[in-house]
Structures are given as structure tokens and as C-alpha cells.
């Protein structure tokens, strides 16, 4: 077994999250689930996303479609922030030339 994988059943028990919630996230493509033998795992790299989805779903009652929309908007926002940083660096470069 890889050390960067988290067993879903254990995570759900400790976090009080329904395994069906993780299945819904997987079905919508919001997280990636790996199956090894009879056990399901999520990569450690997706843990923060899973925790964020769980908070939005359980605490704020946002449905899966809403989570998908939020995911898309956050991804777009990060892309735009990166683009702004690149443009600011380019602008600084041209200001320094003058």
C-alpha cells in the first residue's frame, strides 16, 4: 500500500462523514478515489479539498451541484490570480526599462 493514500472508511469514521458523500464527490469528479483490493482510498493531496467540501456540504447545506460550481469558481479565481501576478511582473519589467 502507498503511504500517500488515506483509507476512506477510516477517514469517514473519524470525521463523521458518510461514505456515500465521498461517492457523490467521486461521481461528480471532485475527488479521485483509488481502489486496491476491497478497500477505497483517497490521495493525501486531496485531503484539504475533501475537508472543504465536507464543511460546505454538512455545515452550510450546499448540495453536490453547488460544490461543483464552487470548485469551478475557485479554480478559475486561482487561475486569474496567477495571470494577474504574471501581468504585474511584466508591467514592472517595462516600468524599469523606462
- Per residue of the chain (98 residues), give pLDDT as tens: 467 999 999 999 999 999 999 999 999 999 999 999 999 999 999 999 999 999 999 999 999 999 999 999 999 999 999 999 999 999 998 888 76
pLDDT digits 0-9 by tens, 32-57: 999 999 999 999 999 999 999 999 99
* pTM given for the model: 0.80
Instruction: Of 30, 19, 33, give the one whose Cα is nearest residue 65.
Output: 30
Q: 47: Cβ–Cβ under 8 A, 6 or more apart, which residues?
A: 6
Q: Cβ atoms within 10 A of the Cβ of 67, count?
A: 20
What are the C-alpha distances in Å from 42 to residues 6, 10, 63, 79? 5, 11, 21, 25
Structural domains of the chain in order of their starting residue, each with its CATH number: 5-97 (1.10.1660.10)
Amino acid at each position: 500500500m502507498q503511504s500517500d493514500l488515506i483509507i476512506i472508511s477510516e477517514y469517514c469514521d473519524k470525521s463523521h462523514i458518510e461514505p456515500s458523500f465521498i461517492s457523490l464527490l467521486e461521481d461528480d469528479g471532485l475527488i479521485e478515489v483509488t481502489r486496491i483490493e476491497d478497500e477505497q482510498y483517497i490521495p493525501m493531496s486531496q485531503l484539504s479539498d475533501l475537508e472543504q467540501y465536507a464543511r460546505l456540504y454538512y455545515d452550510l447545506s450546499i448540495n453536490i451541484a453547488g460544490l461543483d460550481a464552487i470548485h469551478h469558481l475557485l479554480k478559475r479565481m486561482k487561475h486569474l490570480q496567477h495571470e494577474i501576478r504574471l501581468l504585474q511582473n511584466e508591467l514592472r519589467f517595462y516600468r524599469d526599462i523606462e
